Amino acid sequence: MPESQKITRRDFLNGTLLASGAALVTAACPFQLMAAEDWNGYPGIGDYAAANGNTHQVMADGHMIRDHAFDKAQPPITDTGETHDCVIIGGGISGLSAALFYQRATDSKKSCLVLENHPIFGGEAKRNEFHVNGQRLMASQGSAMWFPPMPGSFLQHFYDSVGIDPRQFQYQQNASRIPTGVTPYAGDGSNFGFFFGASFGHPEGLWLTDPWGKKLEGAPIPAPAKQELLAMQTTSAHGPMPKRHGDTVSRHLDSITLEDDLIARHNLSRDTVRRYLSPVAGGGSGIGADALSAYSDYAPDLLFPWQKDQGPQMFPGGNTGVARHIVKALLPNAINGPASMPGICQSSVNFAALDQLQQATRIRLRSTVISIQHEGDPANAPYVNIVYFRLGKLYRVRAKSVILANGNWTINSIVRDLPSDYRHAYAQFFRAPCIMANVAVRNWRFLANMGISQAQWFDGIGNYLAVRRVAAFGGGAPALSPDSPTVFTLKILFANPGRPPIEQINTGRYQLMTTPYSVYEQRIRDQFSTMFGKQGFDARRDLAGIILNRWGHAYLAPQPGFFFGKDGKPSPAELMRHHPFGRMAFANSDLSGIMDHRASITEAHRAVQQVIAQI
């Protein structure tokens, strides 16, 4: 039975709120009634301890933008007296890359200010840290995998320029007879297991290890679905595959859903897709495969070919490593220690060095932009005014150019003079919520007792986990055994196949926003106890910490027609990519249709070229 603890009145209240479904609130919503500690929960240690996902403060500021609270209150605005050649909105990988490209293009002779609303740079490329059994453990908050670029490619040159050396991705030794991977994503080998719970007629739980090797024998799955899943594993997909971005096949795929593509290629029933493949199929976009463009599953590899024979790699804290390398290249003193991969990963951030008066490039944290507007007619205005909220006060700066590298969901609210055609295009960008829960355990003996290191389940919270060997330059233990502490990353998605995209998104976001940390923590404890209790897991003894990273707008969820347009109309991103608005250019990975740090970099490069052409 799941381990239970005392249910508080607050937990009961939350259960009542969740039962109200997808109702959207704009006034005193349950999130606003929650104390910061109830929302944030345990934040971990290190540079990122005050920045686990969208913190309570970040959410509160964002909702004030949405509700135009500053316009209604009309608080005083302090003019900083600053005029910058370029102001970049957003300090994620796109914004940081834009700052670096701008710095290099202008030989550091032009001033550039990055405004970032979180307590630390990186956007979704941040990490969590724990200290367990004398070891420092790191895990990604969001953006995770790094793909070795093709030799001679733009990305290869960029990574090399910021000191990322693919040869440095050497990992902990595996001190176990059980194979282990280097990413938090579960695979399908003999070290893999399925867990079936109450909805499969097994309230006590049933494990099936090496399910594909055993051809699903013993799995409580109906015979037709079992046959479909086995055929999917053992036979080639039907139909032509896209060869390049924009070819006939890719355009056809963008006209249908991912669910329909899975059904056609693998002779699956719709029920099989929704019961056994969702939400992992479409997991990179946050909602059900029934609402996503089929091309979203193919676009990353076509847009960014990579050396697949080397396999995906991973920094100890995910693509936090990429963000930190960019910052080190931008502002060498902003990260203490040497400009090496171990130094950049292990050293602390020197926050004071991010925003110094004498620097050509500056990064200003905890600064939520609420208003951007040209001074006069956008066609010939000499400057743009930017107002931002920081530590309880409003400030104004001026810019000769602006790069919008922030989330697309805020642009319609903060760019006050944005024309209607841009607003209409941005209204077609859907972002789905996600929680990345990092669960630190003192050992993973409970998995090893079954001979596995990765697992998937179909009910409860999360869907899969995997033991991960960490890159050695993170400074952790040289070897990983079943008795070693480790961190499991649970991706908590809110897919509701069969509902319209916006309904899936709003339902999920409401659940994310109204559920206290304590409830999620208890659900995770219960999930682990249910699945692993018979294998020796004891939550009180073995759990070392749980960090929630709530992302209210985690994933772009591209609907059919997003990539290449629909009904004779261009894709919604084409306007922003090819037509800057006055002195503003648009960056962010959303414009490519995929949530990938590589797109963040290339979209930033394009945007910088556009503003450079203006000056």
Mean of per-residue pLDDT scores for the chain: 93
Who's near 354: CB < 8 A, 6+ residues apart?
Answer: 121, 327, 331, 334, 362, 363, 364, 365
Q: How many residues does the chain have?
A: 615
Enter the tokens of residue 510: 């409401």
Q: What is the mean pLDDT of residues 392-416?
A: 95
Q: How far apart are CA 457 and CA 108, in angstroms?
A: 52
The helix (run of H) or strand (run of E) holding residue 208 is strand 206-209
Contact predicate 432/143, CB 8 Å: no
> Beta strand pairing status for 393-399 and 384-390?
antiparallel
Candidate from 32-46, 344-358, 361-375 with smallest mean pLDDT = 32-46
Enter the tokens of residue 504: 């899936």
Q: How far apart are CA 492 and CA 283, in angstroms?
A: 10
Banded model confidence at residue 33, pLDDT cuts 50, 70, 90: confident
Residue 37 has pLDDT above 60, yes or no: yes
The structure's pTM equals: 0.94
Q: What is the mean pLDDT of residues 154-176?
A: 98
Q: CA distances (Å), 474 to each of 213, 315, 317, 321, 446, in order?
A: 35, 8, 9, 10, 26
Banded model confidence at residue 71, pLDDT cuts 50, 70, 90: confident
Q: Within 13 Å of residue 564, how many CA atoms lie on the same side as its CB?
A: 17
Banded model confidence at residue 284, pLDDT cuts 50, 70, 90: confident
pLDDT at 22: 32
What does the pLDDT look like over 507-548, one tens digit per residue?
A: 999 999 999 999 999 999 999 999 999 999 999 999 999 999
Banded model confidence at residue 30, pLDDT cuts 50, 70, 90: low
pLDDT at 283: 74
DSSP reduced 3-state for 190 = coil
pLDDT at 464: 96
pLDDT at 279: 84
Contact predicate 369/386, CB 8 Å: yes
Contact predicate 118/142, CB 8 Å: no
**b/e code 240-257 from CB counts within 10 Å (16+ = b):** eebeebeeebbbbbbbeb
Contact predicate 111/427, CB 8 Å: no
pLDDT at 18: 29
Banded model confidence at residue 16, pLDDT cuts 50, 70, 90: very low
pLDDT at 363: 98
Contact predicate 311/171, CB 8 Å: no
**b/e code 397-418 from CB counts within 10 Å (16+ = b):** bbbbbbbbbbbbbbbeebbeeb
Candidate from 56-70, 207-221, 230-244 with smallest mean pLDDT = 56-70
If we measure between CA atoms, which residue out of 314, 315, 335 comes closest to residue 324?
A: 335
- Give 222's DSSP letter: -
Phi, psi of 7 (to 5 degrees): -90, 125
Residue 89 has pLDDT above 60, yes or no: yes
